[in-house]
C-alpha cells in the first residue's frame, strides 16, 4: 500500500493502517482488507473511478431495502471505505434459499418509473437511467441499444450485430410485456458479488442499481450459474414467475449483461450475443 493511500485512509477514519491484504474483485480499482490501529478491519477500494457512485448505491440499498450490504464509512470519487463482511464457504442450497428471500423482498420495493435519479456504473461502464414509464422502451433504448453502440464504438462489436440488435429492439413487445411495477434491483447478480457465511447470505456487494423488471435480475443470476432450481423454487413462493421466463424471456434479458461483457472483454461474448439473436430469428 502506498504512503498516499495510507494517509488518505488515516484522514478519512482518523486511524492508522496496521496492514493490508489484497482481495479479489478488483475490476474497478484495487480492493484490500485493511486492519486499523483500533483492531477493526475495513474494506478499501482505491485507484478506480466513480467509487463515490458505488458508495451511493450501497447507501441507497441500505436506505430503501433490507438487503444486507456493507456499511459505507467513507465515499469519494477515488476512495471507498466499507465495513468488512466475514465470509466462509460458497453458495449451496441453504444460501440459495436465503438469497431468494432477500431478493424477493428487494424486488417488492417499487418506484414510480423505470430508471433512477442518476446514472449508475456496471463493471465500470456507465448505465444511463433516465426515468421512463415504459419498461420495454427503457430496456431497448437504455440497455440493449446503448450498450451495443458503446461496444461498437469501443471496437468490440461488429456493426452488423448492432443493426441486428436494432431490429430485435423493434420487436421486443413480441416476447416481453410491461411488468406490474418498476422494482428495485441489485443489478449485478453473479457469484462474485454474493458473500456467504455458514450457509447463509452474509452480504451483497458491487451493485448496479435501478428500477427495472425484476426478471432481468433473475436472468442474470442464471447467466454464470450463480443460482439454480433451489433459488427459483423459493423465489416463486414469494413472487410467481412468468410461465415463459426460462424458455423465452431469460435469454432476452441476458442479452444485456452479455453486451456489457462484450464492451469490457470482447472475445467469445460476441459469439454469445450472435447466438441469442439467432435464437430469436434475427
Domain presence at residue 181: yes
| Grid cell of 28 as nine digits | 474497478
pLDDT band for position 49 (50/70/90)?
A: confident
Statement: residue 216 has pLDDT above 80? yes
Q: Assign 24 a pLDDT band (cuts: 50, 70, 90).
A: confident
Tell me the mean pLDDT in the region 224-246.
Answer: 97
Judgement on whether residues 73 and 198 belong to the same structural domain of the protein? no
Whether residues 156 and 122 share a domain: the answer is yes
Residues 167 and 265 in one domain: yes
Query: Is 52 marked active-site?
Result: no
Same domain, 167 and 273: yes
Distance (Å, rounded) from C-alpha 192 to C-alpha 208? 14
Res. 223 pLDDT band, cuts 50 70 90: very high
Residues 34 and 162 in one domain: no
In tens, the pLDDT along 242-275 reads 999 999 999 999 999 999 999 999 999 999 999 9
Kindly state whether residues 171 and 207 are assigned to the same domain: yes
Within a 10 A sphere around the Cβ of 101, how many other Cβ atoms? Answer: 17
Do 78 and 162 lie in one domain? The reply is no
Q: What per-residue string of b and e applies to 253-281 under the rule 16 or more CB within 10 Å gives b?
A: bbbbbbbbbbbbeeeebbebbbebbeebe
What span, in angstroms and rounded, lies between the C-alpha atoms of 83 and 20?
Answer: 14
Helices (H) and strands (E) in the chain, counts: 10, 11
Q: What's residue 230's pLDDT?
A: 98
Whether 23 and 41 have beta carbons less than 8 Å apart is answered as no
Query: What is d(CA 230, CA 270) in angstroms, rounded to the nearest whole number?
Result: 30
Strand partners, 211: 115, 184
Helix (H) or strand (E) holding 222: helix 215-223
Say yes or no: 69 and 186 in one domain: no
Asked whether residue 46 is assigned to any structural domain, the reply reads: yes
DSSP-assigned letter for residue 142: I
Site of grid cell 416481453? 176
Q: Range of 115's domain?
A: 93-279
Q: What is the pLDDT of residue 29?
A: 67
Q: What is the CATH number of the domain that holds 256?
A: 3.90.1200.10
Domains in the chain, number: 2
Q: Are residues 214 and 113 in the same domain?
A: yes
Q: Concatenated DSSP letters for 237-260? A: HHSPPPTTIIIIIHHHHHHHHHHH
Q: Which stretches of 83-134 are DSSP H helices? A: 93-107
Check pLDDT > 80 for residue 26: no
Question: Is 33's pLDDT higher than 80?
Answer: yes
Task: Give the C-alpha separation, 206 to 55, whole Å.
Answer: 9
Please state the length of the chain. 282
Catalytic residue (one of 188, 206, 213, 251): 188
Residue 235 cell numbers, joined: 423465489
Whether residue 64 sits in one domain with residue 110: no
| CATH at 78 | 3.30.200.20
Question: Would residue 88 count as lying in a domain?
Answer: no
How confident is the model over 113-142, as pLDDT tens digits?
A: 999 999 999 988 999 999 999 999 999 999
Same domain, 144 and 199: yes
Amino acid at each position: 500500500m502506498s504512503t498516499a493511500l495510507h494517509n488518505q485512509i488515516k484522514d478519512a477514519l482518523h486511524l492508522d493502517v496496521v496492514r493490508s491484504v489484497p482481495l479479489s474483485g478488483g475490476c474497478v480499482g484495487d480492493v484490500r482488507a485493511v486492519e486499523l490501529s483500533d483492531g477493526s478491519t475495513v474494506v478499501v477500494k482505491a485507484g478506480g473511478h466513480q467509487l463515490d457512485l458505488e458508495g451511493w448505491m450501497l447507501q441507497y440499498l441500505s436506505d430503501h431495502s433490507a438487503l444486507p450490504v456493507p456499511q459505507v464509512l467513507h465515499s469519494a470519487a477515488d476512495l471507498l471505505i466499507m465495513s468488512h463482511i466475514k465470509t466462509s464457504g460458497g453458495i449451496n442450497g441453504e444460501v440459495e434459499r436465503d438469497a431468494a428471500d432477500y431478493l424477493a423482498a428487494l424486488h417488492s420495493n417499487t418506484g414510480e418509473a423505470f430508471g433512477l435519479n442518476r446514472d449508475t456504473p456496471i463493471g465500470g461502464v456507465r448505465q444511463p437511467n433516465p426515468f421512463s414509464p415504459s419498461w420495454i422502451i427503457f430496456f431497448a433504448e437504455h440497455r440493449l441499444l446503448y450498450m451495443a453502440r458503446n461496444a461498437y464504438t469501443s471496437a468490440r462489436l461488429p456493426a452488423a450485430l448492432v443493426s441486428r440488435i436494432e431490429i430485435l429492439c423493434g420487436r421486443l413487445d413480441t416476447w416481453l410485456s410491461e411488468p406490474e411495477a418498476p422494482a428495485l434491483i441489485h443489478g449485478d447478480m453473479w457469484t462474485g458479488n454474493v458473500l456467504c457465511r455458514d450457509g447463509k447470505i452474509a452480504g451483497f456487494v458491487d451493485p448496479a442499481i435501478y428500477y427495472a423488471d425484476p426478471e432481468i435480475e433473475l436472468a442474470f443470476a442464471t447467466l454464470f450459474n450463480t443460482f439454480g432450481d433451489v433459488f427459483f423454487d423459493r423465489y416463486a413462493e414469494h413472487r410467481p414467475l412468468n410461465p415463459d421466463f426460462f424458455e423465452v424471456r431469460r435469454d432476452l434479458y441476458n442479452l444485456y449483461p452479455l453486451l456489457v461483457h462484450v464492451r469490457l472483454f470482447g472475445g467469445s461474448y460476441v459469439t454469445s450475443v450472435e447466438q441469442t439473436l439467432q435464437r430469436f430469428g434475427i
